[in-house]
A = this chain, B = another copy of it.
Amino acid sequence: MDERGLIRSLVPLLGSAATADDCAAVRHGGEWLLLSTDMLHETTDFPIGMTDVEIGWMAAAVTLSDIAAMGARPLTLLLATGLDRPERLAGITEGALACCRAHGADLAGGDTDAHTELTIVSTGLGTAASPVRRSGARPGDLICVTGYLGGAQAALSGHDQYWRRLIEPVPRVAEGLALNAAGVTAMMDISDGLALSLHDMLAVNECGFAVDSARLPRPGGVPEDEGREFALYGGGDFELLFTIPAEHFPVVGVDATVIGAVVAERSVTVDGAPLPGRGYMHCWGSSPDQNPDFR
């Protein structure tokens, strides 16, 4: 069973609301509180060669990206860190703090523990008057992405000019807020690649998604076929995927590209052919930790 299957198995216990979006959403005092938690392990989630500061930045970024994906304003972040060596905590905290401050959030505290493998769980809290969900797409809406796709995967495949893109992902916080205000109908972040994300959207919408591969914003300097593959299936980009009525696009201040259209038929296609729901799902290093039957 993969992670998505496992999370689906919890629906009878927790209800679908607890498993359908990038964040848990709690109605409180006239607004919504958005909460997200992400567990990262050194061997599976952090590419070899990263510094502790970069690891801290990435741990914060993935969680802030989940908050951005709901069109919410991040308020604060907590870091629980299982350390193989205690002296790593300072660098990790420094990196997480820098990422938080760059996106208007505090790093409010956390927990530490000794562990054989470095393990970081970052948990973020954000607020929104009206968060954007993964559901809500309507036939006729444009499908768009911020920035470009496939850069992180390009770095993993030897295109060294994309190394910083891989290790220092930028959560699209300002973009998420602007897109929420502009009236997007559905949104999520693309942490595990576009194809998997579109299938996640399919699972919670009553419509389908038709992508035109020629319109995909690919990493420059990478051969076209390879770049297309990276853009469709590569993880680690943390751009936003959203749907929006055509009359509301483009959105001022948001660098985004139209890559297709929401359609009535419930399927995900690229250039008219079914797009398989596959991706790289965090498998970023050779790991003794990894259980192929589970991941």
Contact = CB atoms under 8 A, between A and B. Distances in A.
Interface of A: 1, 3, 6-7, 9-10, 13-14, 18-19, 23-26, 28-29, 31, 33, 35-41, 44, 75-76, 78-83, 85-86, 89-90, 93-94, 97, 106-117, 119, 121, 123, 125, 127, 288-291, 294-295
B108 A18 contact: yes
A289 B19 CA distance: 32
A111 B75 contact: no
Nearest to A110: B37
A81 B39 contact: yes
A253 to B, nearest CB: 26
**Most B Cβ at <10 Å: residue of A33, A78, A290:** A78
Contact of A290 (B78, B85, B108, B114): B114
Contacts of A90: 9-10, 13
B107 A14 contact: yes
B37 A78 contact: yes
Contacts of A35: 76, 78, 108-109, 123, 125
Contacts of A289: 114-116
**Most B Cβ at <10 Å: residue of A80, A90, A93, A288:** A80
A80 B39 contact: yes
Given A10-B93, A89-B9, A93-B10, A115 B125 contact: no
State the main secondary structure of chain A at its contact with B: strand
Nearest to A113: B39
A26 B80 contact: no
A75 B291 contact: no
A1 B121 CA distance: 22
A18 B109 contact: yes
A222 B33 CA distance: 47
A90 B79 CA distance: 25
A80 B38 contact: yes
Contacts of A18: 107-109
**Most B Cβ at <10 Å: residue of A31, A41, A80, A121:** A121
